Structure 1
Amino acid sequence: MQIYLNGLEKQIPDSLDMAGLIEMLELTDQRIAVEVNEELVPRTTFSGHLLNDQDRIEIIHAVGGG
């Protein structure tokens, strides 16, 4: 299926959940925030959040500093 990841078209397997996408992108151990169709997705719900064709996903890396 096709999604839009940070504004770019990307093909992903059907029936993929957010946890699977994060793993596929090798972001498992990263500090990130995820939004799907302008709705924040809590990390605790990644494994149950199924992705749909044409979803618009934004993944933002958290950066610390002072």
Structure 2
Amino acid sequence: MPRSEADRAFVRRVLNEFLERELGEEMARVCRLPHKERFEYIDDMIDYAESKGAKFDRPATGVTI
């Protein structure tokens, strides 16, 4: 059964509120980006961290994808 536009808007609003509450405004915005733009943004974040001296020579622990 197809959902009405009001139902879809409600689900989008609830999802957006959840993402902002759990991840913060910036990461919630990143989560809503299209897949390609999201990975470009993350690559830029990694490049910025490396330029500030962050080292990625050890694997991350406690992080799952």
TM-score normalized by structure 2?
0.25
Higher strand share: 1
Give the number of the structure whose alpha-carbon radius of gyration is greater.
2
Q: Which has the higher contact order (CA 8 A, sep 6+)?
A: 1
